[in-house]
Structure 1
Amino acid sequence: MRPIYLLCAALLFSAAPTFAQTTPLQVQPAAAPAVDPLTTQITYIQNEWARIKYQIPSDDAKLAALHALESHTAQVAASYPQAETKIWQAIVLSTDAGIVKGMSALPKVTKAKELLEAALAQNQRALDGSAHTSLGSLYYQVPGWPIGFGDDEKAESHLKAALQMNPAGIDPNFFYGDFLLQDDRLDEAEAYLQRALQAPDRAGRAVADAGRRQEIKAALAKIAETRKSSGHKFN
C-alpha cells in the first residue's frame, strides 16, 4: 500500500565549437513520483472508513456513508481483485453489520467472511496479516451455530496468526485483547490491550489510530470495573 517513488534526473552537456568551453551542467527537474493506483484506492478507502466510523456521530448517517463506500469498494475490487481490496471490502461490510446487528446483519458478515477467506488464500500476509485479524474478530463476535458461524477456537487461532505477522500492531493486539476480555481472561486481556495502547502510530492513519485508542481505553476501563464489582484485583 505504499507508493513507490521514482527519481530520474538527466544531465545535459554541451561544448562550444570554437573554444572547447563547456556550458554549466543543467539538471532537469525530477520526474513526478510514480503513483500506484491500487495504493491510491486503498488509501482513500481506509481514510473514508476511519472518517465514517470515528467521526460521524449518528448511526443513520454512518450507514448511509458506509453504503456508498461499500459500492465504491466493490467497484475497486472488480478492477483490482487483490487480497488488499478483499480485506477492505470485508472491513466495510463488517462495520455496517456491527451497526445493524441482529439477524439482518448475518448476510453481510457471511459475505465478509468469504472475502477474508479468499484474501487469505491469495496472500495471508497482505496488510500485515489483516485478513487474520478481521476474520478472527468475526469469529468471536458473530453468534455460533445454529444462528451464525461464530467459533472461539477459530477466533483465537486467527488472532494469534495475526500477532505472529504483526506483533506490535495496534489492531491485532486490540482484537486479541478484546477477545480475551469477552472470555473473562482479564489478566491476559489487559496485557494485550496495554500493548495495543502503546503500539506505534501508523503512517497516514491518525484518525483510525485515535479512534482505536479510545476503544482500547474503554476496554481497559471495563476490566477495571469488572474487577471492582467482583471484589478482587486479579482473575
Structure 2
Amino acid sequence: MRLTIFSRSSVACLLVGALYGQIAEASSADPLLMIQHRWAQCQYKQSDNDKQIACFKHLITANQQALTQFPQRADLKVWLAINNASLAASQGGLGALSYVKKAKTLLEDVIQTAPNTLQGSAYTTLGSLYYKVPGWPVGFGDDDMAEKMLKKALVINPKGIDPNYFYADFLVDQDKEQQAIKYFKQAQQAPARAHRHLADQARHEEIAQRLQQLEQ
C-alpha cells in the first residue's frame, strides 16, 4: 500500500509542556530512550489524528534539539527520520512529501557514514519508504530499491522484529502472500527489545492480525 499523499487536514494544538517536561526529566539520561518512548506514545496511544500529528511535530522538535546537542549520534539521526516518516504517514496530503524527503536524506546519510547503527535500522526505514511512497513524478517510490534496502537490513539483523515485519509487508504489497507469512512468523519470534515494550506489544498485535488475514 502506497503512502497517501493527497488526504488529511488540519493540525490540532497540544500542550508542549508535557513533552518538554519529559525532556527535562530525561536530561541526565540517554535522549534516545525518551524519543523512542514518546514515538510509541504518539504512534499507538493517540487515536485522534490531529493530536497524533501535533504529537509527532513536537517530537521532531525535541529530536532535532537532541541531535543538535549530539551531532555525531547517528542513532538520533535515524530516529529523526523515523519521526518525519511517521508524521508524513499520519498527516497525508501533498505536504507529507516534504517529510518523507527529509527522512530519506537523513537515512541516506546514516547509510553512508554508519550503516550498522541500531542494527541497520536506516535500511529498514528507507526500504519501507521506497515501497510506500508514490513513484515518479510525485515521489521517489521504487520497489526494486525497497527490496534491496530491506534485504540489507535482514543481513544485519536477521532476527529483528522490524526488518522481518517490513519485509513481510513489502512481500504482501508485491502479492507474495505465502512468502510474507514466513517473515511475519520470524518477526513474531524476534527477541524483545530493551525499553521498547509498548512498541513491541503493538507490533506483535499487528503481526497477529496480518497472519490471521493471510492464513484464512
Relative contact order: is structure 1 or structure 2 higher (C-alpha 8 Å, sep ≥ 6)? 2
Equivalent residue, structure 1, for 2:69: 79
Structure 2 gaps of 5+ residues are 1-26
Is 1:220 aligned to residue 196 of structure 2? Answer: no
Equivalent residue, structure 2, for 1:56: 46
Q: How does 1:97-176 map to 2 (within 5 A)?
A: 97-176=88-167
- CA deviations 1:41-98 (Å, max 9, x no partner) are 1111001101111112111111111111010111111121221111000000111100
Sequence identity percentage: 43
Is 1:67 aligned to residue 57 of structure 2? Answer: yes
Any runs of at least 4 consecutive aligned residues in structure 1 with deviations exceeding 3 A, and if so which? none
Deviation at 1:220, TM superposition (A): 1.8
Aligned with residue 187 of structure 2, among 189, 196, 216: 196
Whole-angstrom CA distance in 2 between matches of 1:120 and 1:95: 19
Deviation at 1:209, TM superposition (A): 0.1
Larger Rg: 1
Distance 1:163 1:39, change over 3 A: farther
Q: How does 1:13-92 map to 2 (within 5 A)?
A: 40-81=30-71, 82-92=73-83
Whole-angstrom CA distance in 1 between matches of 2:91 and 2:212: 25
- CA deviations 1:16-44 (Å, max 9, x no partner) are xxxxxxxxxxxxxxxxxxxxx79711111
SS for the counterpart of 1:75 is helix
Matching residue's letter, 2:32 = I
Equivalent residue, structure 1, for 2:16: none
Whole-angstrom CA distance in 2 between matches of 1:158 and 1:68: 29
Report the RMSD for the aligned CA atoms in angstroms: 1.4
Deviation at 1:101, TM superposition (A): 1.7
- Checking the alignment, whether the CA contact within 8 Å between 1:83 and 1:126 is kept in structure 2 is yes
Normalised by the length of structure 2, the TM-score is 0.84
- Checking the alignment, whether the CA contact within 8 Å between 1:83 and 1:120 is kept in structure 2 is no
SS for the counterpart of 1:144 is coil
- Checking the alignment, whether the CA contact within 8 Å between 1:94 and 1:109 is kept in structure 2 is yes
Equivalent residue, structure 2, for 1:205: 196
Deviation at 1:104, TM superposition (A): 1.8
- Checking the alignment, whether the CA contact within 8 Å between 1:109 and 1:138 is kept in structure 2 is yes
Distance 1:38 1:136, change over 3 A: farther
Distance 1:39 1:222, change over 3 A: farther
- Checking the alignment, whether the CA contact within 8 Å between 1:181 and 1:223 is kept in structure 2 is no
Structure 1 gaps of 5+ residues are 1-36, 226-235
SS for the counterpart of 1:167 is coil
Matching residue's letter, 1:175 = F
SS for the counterpart of 1:103 is coil
- Checking the alignment, whether the CA contact within 8 Å between 1:90 and 1:111 is kept in structure 2 is yes
Equivalent residue, structure 2, for 1:233: none
